[in-house]
Structure 1
Amino acid sequence: MQRRPVGSSGLEVSRIGLGTMTWGEDTSPAEAGEQLAAFVDAGGTFVETADDYGGGAAQQVLGGLLRGTVSRDDLVLAGRGSAIDAPGRGGTARASRAALLRSLDGTLRRLGVDHLDLWQFPGWDPRVPVDEMLSAVQVAVYSGRARYAGLVAPQGWQLATVAAGAGAGPDPAVSRPVSTQVEYSLLAREPEAELLPAARHHGLGILAWAPLGRGVLTGKYTDGTPADSRGASALLASYVEARRTEHSARIVQSVLTAADGLGTSPLVVALTWVRDRPGVATAVVGARDAAQLRASLAAEDVTLPAEIRTALDDVSDPVR
């Protein structure tokens, strides 16, 4: 699998990443192990996890696999802090230095590792000064607990504010974020208005999650909700339903048409479209099992013709 730099940094990742959101809940440890092994065998390196995936269960599952299924050195581990450190917990705000470092230490403990390759933290907290958030990054890097840092789903002006604050700090090479993780797909192109231009301007790479439109772009929901799908899961039904709209249906039909013309799957068409958008370092996919993951990994050998990419751009244009 090809690798790409994350923005203007020296960090490199596989251009398809593996998400772990359902591990420990809808995905058993055994199934997760099969996925991770298949991903590494295909040349994948970037694995994303968060401390609120299953209340920490996903990280515990991944930590167990790092002690037996794959080598830690084969992966680029990205850990994300989240609402586990909600306002008021321990007397600190969500993105305070204390909360951020506590979240990082919890992630390292659950994974059983001494550092993250990429530590992602909330992109904005109005109660916390930017320099305090950035000081947490410096502590994490200087102490060896993180190699790089990134922002999670900020708005464009928030990303620019944090990036500018890092540039004005005492050690910008350490505190400057190198990435931003955001939902991005043919059904979610809103980041193109402000966030993606801001990221490119400041040299941040895009980590695109839900590139398959939360599964809707695979076409599996065109005739209802399959019983074995995430849309039928009590855990994820509302998550999927948010992308099942009349506008989405037109885009899905275009993806199906493109896939039929190319002799491939709609999953591959949708994933390839995101993967090759300007500024995207990796497109992070989640899967129910190893077979489903391998279907996503098949996108590695596909490049969309220019005319199909243009047609998909047009039909999914959020302005239109």
Structure 2
Amino acid sequence: MDKKFLGELCEIDSIATYEGSVRKKLKEKHINADSVEYDGIGSQIFNYKGKGPKVMFAAHMDEVGFMVRNITDIGMLDVIPIGGVKDSAKQFQKVTVTTEEGKKIKGLMNSKMDGEKAVSTYVDLGLENAEQVKNLGIEIGNMVTFSSKSEWLSEDILMAKALDDRIGNFVLAEVAQRLSEVEHECDLYLCNTVQEEVGTRGGKCSADIINPDIFFAVDVACAPDLERGSSNHRKMGKGFMILHYDKTMIPNRKLLKYLKSIANKHNIEFQSDMFGGGGTDAGNAHMINGGRPAAVLGIPLRYCHGSYSMVSMTDVELLVEFIIEIIKDIDNETIKEITDFE
């Protein structure tokens, strides 16, 4: 696996509607695609042609972050979160402001707190007034992201920002790199979607274009920081996750059985879990054109939606292998069986 590429991918600044640099970076890994197209809001769709069912995998490019809402008289930036940033990650954080011209300006983020809740969040640039801020080219609407460098804590563990969901993008890029050695019947679509963190929008728009026979969201879930006991089904290094439920989608039972059979057949370690809240691109995508079978394949992360997360490359490799096996196995008969409700 190209670890250098993954580290660089995570360091790109890209909240919703600012995904262009991630799109460009990911395109480097899909040079063998038969075609590439875009939905109307910016998701990137790579097609690897086949004569069988349309199979779609999607991972979102946007990260949680902030947007400049106001420039105060004393030279502070009042910012609002774009996506579900943890309140604990809004205090004393080094951040980057990106201007419309692409200039990167460093600052320190802090928040006024009411107990554990951030009631207002601001960025201090070390300036004294609004004119100084505007002279830097900063405007209302500019992107603000955590200024976090990717670091390898070991051969297996990466600590970086934006792993939600650059790790999903990376998984699909690794799948693309291995497709030359894979025979598949399915008509395969590997998609990098936009605006997932603000309403799971890109998955829906791309699915409308593709009209897949089956949809898979490749995303993440926050593993408990301290809990290592039997209640933790999101353990780093213990396999990827097959999700059984979230508040936006419950997968087809036959599909779940099929996925587990593929993993067990090839001795690929996985974990089963459910989301108490939240959702993924599958939530909207599975409801297109009367409904489509869909599932979420997840990677456990620690410290999700903050300035840094952690991921195990063991889990990443297992998910890449699993997706390859799905691509090799799935055919029209599989789709027919999964969607037979008689």
Q: One fold, TM greater than 0.5?
A: no
The TM-score normalised by the length of structure 1 is 0.29
More helix by share: 1
The one of the two structures with greater contact order (alpha-carbon pairs below 8 A, sep at least 6) is 2
The TM-score normalised by the length of structure 2 is 0.28
More strand by share: 2
